Amino acid sequence: MPNVERYPSDVAFSAAVKAIQDRKGSRENYARMEQGEGWSTTITPALAAFIAGQNSIYLGTASADGQPYIQHRGGPPGFLRVVDESTLAFVDFKGNRQYITQGNLSENPRAFIFLMDYTRRKRIKLWGTAWFVEGDAGLVQSLMPDGYRAQPEQVFMFSLSAWDANCPQHIPKRVDLAEMESVIAAKDRTILELTEQVAELTRRLQGRGAEPE
């Protein structure tokens, strides 16, 4: 029997999930959450800003018989675009041509996007439905990251049902290589500038010491 969704979080909290929450003592807290502010069903400005900084995402789909599959997608920061308050999209680049995600969505449109920011130790979970758009050159051009050297094949579209942000517990802190290289380069420039200033001050002091009394 399909799950009857009363609250946005019911997309994840099925009757079976709620039964386990009840048995393990967390149902009361989540019931208050459901009846209060609950999970958001639209893309807020804060979420849009978070999405704009992501260069790596994970997509979850399942076949008609329930076989799950997770696929990674990446690109320059902002390759995942906010189309409107309930829609996300990105250009799907040519890869290994397995098409498992596309095959799954052709028979089961339910999808999941997982966003992880290791630097800031934050994760976002998004539930919804998804589909691929083929043969729309204008749509591809509007979503293609500027200057990114990859061969576009089609466009992935995602309609949001609900989203939630997890606490940072147990997320390892990792730094993006490009960010680290930028920080190191800035520090190297500062060291070079300070070294040159010290050398100049040393020359001036030495010059003063050589002046006759």
pTM, rounded to two decimals? 0.81
Cβ neighbours of residue 184 closer than 8 Å, sequence gap 6 or more:
none
Q: State residue 209's pLDDT score.
A: 65
Indicate if the pLDDT at residue 63 is higher than 70: yes
Same domain, yes or no, for 198 and 141? Answer: no
Q: What is the mean pLDDT of residues 80-98?
A: 95
Residue 145: which domain range?
Answer: 40-166
What one-letter code names the amino acid at 139? L
Indicate if the pLDDT at residue 86 is higher than 80: yes
Better-scored residue on pLDDT, 85 or 206? 85
Same domain, yes or no, for 24 and 44? Answer: no
Same domain, yes or no, for 32 and 129? Answer: no
Same domain, yes or no, for 49 and 151? Answer: yes
In a 3-state reduction of DSSP, which class is residue 41? coil
Q: What is the C-alpha to C-alpha distance for residues 47 and 40, in angstroms, rounded to an integer? A: 10
Same domain, yes or no, for 50 and 146? Answer: yes
Q: State residue 1's pLDDT score.
A: 45
Cβ neighbours of residue 179 closer than 8 Å, sequence gap 6 or more:
119
Q: Are 40 and 8 in contact (CB under 8 A)?
A: yes
